[in-house]
Structure 1
Amino acid sequence: MSSEPAIAVSDLSVEYPARGPSASCVALRGVSFRLEQGQVLGVLGETGSGKSTLAQVLAGRVLPPRASEPGPRISGGEASVLGHRLRKAKKRDLAEVTFHVGYLPQEAAATLEPSLSVQDNVALPIFERDEHYPRRAAGERAATMLDTVHLPLSVLNKYPYELSSGQRQRVALARALVLGPSILVADEPTAGIDATVRDAVIDLLSQLREHKDFTAVVVSHDLAVLRRATDVSLVLQAGRPVGYGPIEDVLADPAHPFVAGLARALKPPQRRTERRPQRAAARPRPKENG
């Protein structure tokens, strides 16, 4: 394992500047962690806690290369991804990050291009980088990625609307992995998926985790994902870190009231054992005198 971490975040604060009538908004405050290569970090928190902003920043997807452009700003601390510092990052640095970090956004299945086949959807990031890339080689790469996410090759020529929600989610995951990224950032990978295929996606993430070089940041409210597909978890509330460590340890010994409430909410309900009223013993019938 390399001595340099895959991701290093130190006292990170991220702010959305004021624009027009909208006031400025601080999305993240004082977030710190270190993710080694080959580890998977889970991120959980309530709606508006900043977890999706963190995912987008680490994936290099939202930071504008120019101060005049809209988008969030790193207002404090630093975040480094594969050695590239994101604060005041230049366009060239962000291009490096987006190449080496695969990104699965929220509701990823809905981001597939409806007019493109599954093969072309998966291969799209290749042609965005090199429009002259050989189509045959791109098709072979797309087929390999479908096999990786456990989809049959028969779907290559189908269109997104012909697939189930779970299949579309796996196509989106194949697209995120097609460039062979060093890090995967997945935002709510099981949200909006039918319960029947949710376990298949979780199994896929846990299988990817078994590869020693697989490094990922997985945003999820799904306890099964955090238990089976992550090494450590970061809990955010109102943009601040309030818990960090293996998910079972964080929930078993919460050091913050929000985490304590989360632990109670995620605790499986205990079965109520109701005592049935016993029937009164039947009285013996008196013998009839005959």
Structure 2
Amino acid sequence: MILTMDNVSKKYRKKWAVQSLSLELTSGGVYGLLGPNGAGKTTLLRMLVDISKPTSGQILLDGQSIEQMGDRYRSILGYMPQRFGFYNRFTAYKFLMYMSSLKGLNVKQASVRVEETLRMVGLEKQAEHKIRTFSGGMKQRLGIAQALLNDPHILILDEPTTGLDPKERIRFRNIIGELGRNRIVLLSTHIISDLEFSCKEMILMNEGQVLVRNTPTEIIKSLEGNVWKAKLTEPQLAELTSHFKVSGLSYQYDGIVARVLSKEQPVPQAVPEPPRLEDVYMHYFDEEATV
């Protein structure tokens, strides 16, 4: 299965949210779409799930336009938007049964899938609890569950780990890693730790365009020799930040340890450091990463 974005652009009034973007995604792995807020990630995902139409270009599944495929395309699609509405008076089970009917599952199929997905996201014990009693993280897990109801071949997730605690995040990454074995999974986030261990490829996006696409290992490797660590005083730090990007700071009793991005040694006391994804984020997006 091949999902192709062919020179896709989207314009809102005078602003281009996505510009001349071309990508090809294949079954058998998780793709991580990483970028700051406002990069165009959500706009791209809305076009991929056929909610929003491209201003120009086309999106194809195995050579067929997804717009022309219509319901055939949507029947194999799972989508969790960034903001998801719930019926707070419903129980988790009733809500998922309702969503199953919208996805075309009969009652018998729906009952089986609802129980399976509740187990997958760790909400089986809360199946008969009203959604209004759920925490933000539990609602987020319920949103992930509804995206999985029709056992989709293509799974699109927009900021799915917002509100999840570290333990829930690990559970989510394990679920996604398993699902990605025989599906196309596209995960959009600005939280880099969601991607480092679960994605076969990362797609870095900003201002509506793809900046780089590669494996996490290769993207990190591309910054080798460009990351330094130096212990500084407050005045030295102020001077340094006026000339270089600083991807991390650690305040210690005898000074400030800074991670600095530079092709050359930024200060005499700086020593080379192995690059990390936080450094990659700062390098491409000029802001600190959310880990």
Instruction: Give the TM-score normalised by the residue count of structure 2.
Output: 0.71
For 1:47 and 1:173, the matched residues in 2 are separated by 21
**Which of 51, 73, 76 is equivalent to 2:56?**
76
For 1:218 and 1:160, the matched residues in 2 are separated by 25
**Which of 137, 159, 171 is equivalent to 1:188?**
159
Which residue does the alignment assign to 2:205?
236
Which residue does the alignment assign to 1:171?
142
**Which of 96, 109, 123 is equivalent to 1:122?**
96
Query: Where does the alignment leave 5 or more consecutive residues of structure 1 unmatched?
Result: 17-22, 64-73, 255-263, 276-290
- Matches for 1:262-281 after TM superposition, within 5 Å: 269=249, 272=252, 274=254
Which residue does the alignment assign to 1:25?
15
For 1:273 and 1:252, the matched residues in 2 are separated by 32
For 1:271 and 1:203, the matched residues in 2 are separated by 34
CA contact (8 A) 1:188 1:220 kept: yes
Q: Does residue 215 of structure 1 match 2:212?
A: no
Q: CA deviation at 1:162?
A: 2.0
Q: Does residue 198 of structure 1 match 2:188?
A: no
Q: CA deviation at 1:168?
A: 1.8
| Structure 1 residues 205 and 273: alpha-carbon distance in aligned structure 2, compared to 1, 3 A threshold | farther
CA contact (8 A) 1:42 1:220 kept: yes
**Which of 54, 66, 71 is equivalent to 1:95?**
71
Structure 1's consecutive aligned runs of 4 or more residues displaced over 6 angstroms after TM superposition are: none
| Structure 1 residues 243 and 130: alpha-carbon distance in aligned structure 2, compared to 1, 3 A threshold | closer
- Matches for 1:38-117 after TM superposition, within 5 Å: 38-63=28-53, 74-86=54-66, 89-90=67-68, 93-108=69-84, 111-117=85-91
SS in 2 for 1:79: strand
| Structure 1 residues 130 and 243: alpha-carbon distance in aligned structure 2, compared to 1, 3 A threshold | closer
Matched AA of 1:170? R
What whole-Å deviation, never above 9, does each CA across 1:129-171 have from its counterpart, x for those lacking one?
448x33x54223211111222332x322111122232222121
| Structure 1 residues 33 and 213: alpha-carbon distance in aligned structure 2, compared to 1, 3 A threshold | same
Larger Rg: 1
For 2:110 and 2:58, the matched residues in 1 are separated by 36
Which residue does the alignment assign to 1:12?
8
| Structure 1 residues 137 and 101: alpha-carbon distance in aligned structure 2, compared to 1, 3 A threshold | closer
Percent of residue pairs identical: 21
CA contact (8 A) 1:165 1:194 kept: no
For 2:94 and 2:52, the matched residues in 1 are separated by 25
| Structure 1 residues 270 and 11: alpha-carbon distance in aligned structure 2, compared to 1, 3 A threshold | farther
| Structure 1 residues 273 and 202: alpha-carbon distance in aligned structure 2, compared to 1, 3 A threshold | farther
Q: Does residue 156 of structure 1 match 2:115?
A: no
Query: Where does the alignment leave 5 or more consecutive residues of structure 2 unmatched?
Result: 224-244, 256-291
C-alpha RMSD over aligned residues: 2.5
Matched AA of 1:84? Q
How many residue pairs were aligned?
234
For 2:89 and 2:139, the matched residues in 1 are separated by 14
Which residue does the alignment assign to 1:282?
none
For 2:62 and 2:156, the matched residues in 1 are separated by 13
What whole-Å deviation, never above 9, does each CA across 1:90-114 have from its counterpart, x for those lacking one?
4xx2322222110011134xx2221
For 2:252 and 2:175, the matched residues in 1 are separated by 35
Deviates more, 1:215-224 or 1:194-203: 194-203
Which residue does the alignment assign to 1:227?
196
Larger strand proportion of the pair: 2
Matched AA of 2:6? S
Q: CA deviation at 1:184?
A: 0.6
